[in-house]
Amino acid sequence: MAPVTNENPDLQASRIVILGGGPGGYEAALVARRLGADVTVVERQGLGGAAVLTDVVPSKTLIATADWMTIADRAADLGIRLPVDTAKAAHPAMRRHMVDLDAVNTRVMALAAAQSADIHARLEREGVRVLIGEGRLEGPSRVQVTLQEDAAEVSVDADVILLALGATPRVLPTAIPDGERILTWTQLYNLKELPERLIVVGSGVTGAEFAGAYNALGSDVVLVSSRDRVLPGEDADAAELIEGVFRSRGMTVMSRTRAEAAVRTDEGVEVTLADGRVVKGSHVLLAVGSIPSTAGIGLEEAGVRLTPSGHVQVDKVSRTSVRGIYAAGDCTGILPLASVAAMQGRVAMSHALGDAVSPIKLRTVAANIFTAPEIATVGYSEEKLKEQGSKYVTTTLPLARNPRAKMLGMRDGFVKLFAHPEASVVLGGVVVAPRASELIFPITLAVAHRLTVDDVAEAFTVYPSLSGSIAEVARMLHHRED
């Protein structure tokens, strides 16, 4: 087995090997190069990882088309009419724009591949060595790689190893995906035609996003949720609003019912629920969580401690139980977001290479659910504030009261802020609105920098604008000193 030697002997003391080229891995590689290390990234699928190739980028690109359809459905309210022939079509589905799913998916995959290629090129430009292949630990300071190109085996010595292995969709033994009718989210982009009736199993973020998107694209969607409401764990008002929007757009939401099995039939699929009911559809999407890619690659043999769920145990600077081995991203189970993975990877490299480092702070993470409307959150949730017995005040302003929203024909949504009752510091916020992912930023700044509601309220906003509601809700929380 030929060892891969580091080309620059000056950097022998900081040879970094990163397993996994997703956001946790590639961002770390760039930081490590900037700090002068010799860096190798081992990736078996493609640079950008699942985030770019199967998860974030494809889903958000598909949702961009779905968003367009949602807006087009509002066109009549804004005085836009369809051509007379189309408007008179016999079937309701013919009275709106039609989606060519093959074209949509071709665009999705091309965009993902281009982004992956860009990341690959950028890493190589920065001097990172990229090995395409499957990696495994050979003890705490050596990585063995089976190269994809010729199945040759190489081993790379490392002073520091970063595990950025990500996760893959969880599958149920009673619902084995076939890539045609029984699908995980990574297989959706092979579809040439819009599913006639899509059963989505799982109403967490992934299930809700795809259920909303396919409903907007024109599929008849059945969402099977094991909980009381969709999006368990998210802001209750936001989740209730989205469920109402889903139902109002014709989606069937089946709550408090678990899917036990899915099988193919001559016509499509049948999903059996725990109570014995059978739901028929043309396709089923399984969105029942992920499992970390940590099995069978020598982690435990090297002494890396895993949690009972198989995630790598890490501290706030991404250290594992083994000196010199760090971990970042979905394989750690901290918070499954690309932004968090990237931050964990950067923190790991700064720590390993002796640069200034601050432990990761999850309180300031902004997150977004790409439904229509979107749900963006930052800071403490109301549930967390209640759970820890914190004192807080809150106000909610419906989007329907915002002048710009009225002009744009937007009805569903709200802005909600939580603040400390005496200090008036903004503790957290929720925005439910189209493009809430953009609107959350001023609240993120307020949470990150401990601004008060008055600081937010006193800043100018454009009139008319959706962000005006953020200043307005902060104004409503103004605390009068008597």
Ligand X SMILES: Cc1cc2nc3c(=O)[nH]c(=O)nc-3n(C[C@H](O)[C@H](O)[C@H](O)COP(=O)(O)OP(=O)(O)OC[C@H]3O[C@@H](n4cnc5c(N)ncnc54)[C@H](O)[C@@H]3O)c2cc1C
State yes or no: residue 297 binds ligand X (CB under 6 A).
Answer: yes
Least Cβ distance, residue 42 to ligand X (angstroms) = 5
Per CB under 6 A, the list member of 17, 32, 39, 50 interacting with ligand X is 50
Per CB under 6 A, the list member of 16, 32, 341, 385 interacting with ligand X is 341
| Site of tokens 């999903």 | 271
Per CB under 6 A, the list member of 56, 154, 457, 473 interacting with ligand X is 56
Q: Is 253 exposed, middle or buried (0-12, 13-18, 19+ CB in 10 A)?
A: buried
Q: Give the C-alpha separation, 277 to 280, whole Å.
A: 10
* Closer residue to ligand X, CB minimum distance, 16 or 337: 337
* Closer residue to ligand X, CB minimum distance, 341 or 348: 341
Per CB under 6 A, the list member of 6, 14, 40, 59 interacting with ligand X is 59
User: In the 8-state DSSP scheme, what is residue 59?
Assistant: H
Count of residues touching ligand X (by CB under 6 A): 36
Q: E strand or H helix at 134, and its extent?
A: strand 129-137
Per CB under 6 A, the list member of 144, 203, 206, 350 interacting with ligand X is 206
* Closer residue to ligand X, CB minimum distance, 50 or 241: 50
Least Cβ distance, residue 173 to ligand X (angstroms) = 20
| Site of tokens 């982690």 | 299
Per CB under 6 A, the list member of 212, 268, 329, 373 interacting with ligand X is 329
State yes or no: residue 45 binds ligand X (CB under 6 A).
Answer: yes
Per CB under 6 A, the list member of 183, 337, 365, 474 interacting with ligand X is 337
Per the DSSP assignment, residues forming a β-bridge with 368 are 376
Q: E strand or H helix at 197, and its extent?
A: strand 197-201
Per CB under 6 A, the list member of 32, 37, 38, 55 interacting with ligand X is 55
Q: Give the C-alpha separation, 412 to 409, whole Å.
A: 10
Per CB under 6 A, the list member of 6, 14, 17, 22 interacting with ligand X is 22
Beta-carbon contacts of 123 under 8 Å, excluding residues fewer than 6 positions away, are 21, 26, 29, 30, 41, 47, 130
Least Cβ distance, residue 214 to ligand X (angstroms) = 13
Least Cβ distance, residue 59 to ligand X (angstroms) = 4
Least Cβ distance, residue 461 to ligand X (angstroms) = 26
* Closer residue to ligand X, CB minimum distance, 202 or 268: 202
Per CB under 6 A, the list member of 44, 283, 311, 416 interacting with ligand X is 44
Nearest of 443, 421, 434 to residue 365 by alpha carbon: 443
Least Cβ distance, residue 12 to ligand X (angstroms) = 24
Instruction: Give the long-range contacts of residues 3-11, CB within 8 A, separation 24 or more.
Output: 3/154, 3/155, 3/156, 3/157, 4/40, 4/129, 4/131, 4/154, 4/155, 4/156, 6/38, 7/38, 8/38, 11/36, 11/37, 11/38
DSSP state letters, 332-360: GTS---HHHHHHHHHHHHHHHTT------
Least Cβ distance, residue 271 to ligand X (angstroms) = 20
Sheet harboring 2-4: ordered strands across?
A: 2-4, 153-157, 142-147, 129-137, 38-43, 15-19, 160-163, 325-327
Beta-carbon contacts of 369 under 8 Å, excluding residues fewer than 6 positions away, are 205, 208, 209, 231, 234, 242, 375, 376
State yes or no: residue 135 binds ligand X (CB under 6 A).
Answer: yes
State yes or no: residue 43 binds ligand X (CB under 6 A).
Answer: yes
Nearest of 261, 290, 292 to residue 278 by alpha carbon: 261
Per the DSSP assignment, residues forming a β-bridge with 132 are 43
* Closer residue to ligand X, CB minimum distance, 288 or 451: 288
Least Cβ distance, residue 293 to ligand X (angstroms) = 4
Least Cβ distance, residue 53 to ligand X (angstroms) = 7
* Closer residue to ligand X, CB minimum distance, 44 or 416: 44
Distances (CA, A) of 290 to 34, 117, 294, 468: 32, 25, 12, 38
Point out which span in 242-250, 326-334, 407-415, 419-427 binds ligand X (CB under 6 A). Answer: 326-334
Per CB under 6 A, the list member of 18, 19, 322, 378 interacting with ligand X is 19
* Closer residue to ligand X, CB minimum distance, 46 or 468: 46
Least Cβ distance, residue 454 to ligand X (angstroms) = 31
- Structure tokens that stand for 299 in this block: 């982690």
CB 232 within 8 A of CB 202: no
* Closer residue to ligand X, CB minimum distance, 41 or 385: 41
Least Cβ distance, residue 22 to ligand X (angstroms) = 2
Least Cβ distance, residue 52 to ligand X (angstroms) = 7
Per the DSSP assignment, residues forming a β-bridge with 283 are 198
Nearest of 362, 365, 359, 363 to residue 318 by alpha carbon: 359
Q: Is 112 exposed, middle or buried (0-12, 13-18, 19+ CB in 10 A)?
A: buried
- Find the binding residues for ligand X in span 139-178 (CB under 6 A): 164-167
State yes or no: residue 442 binds ligand X (CB under 6 A).
Answer: no
Per the DSSP assignment, residues forming a β-bridge with 197 are 220
Q: Which spans of this chain sit near ligand X (rule: CB under 6 A)?
A: 19-25, 42-45, 49-51, 55-56, 59-60, 134-135, 164-167, 185, 206, 293, 297, 329-331, 336-339, 341
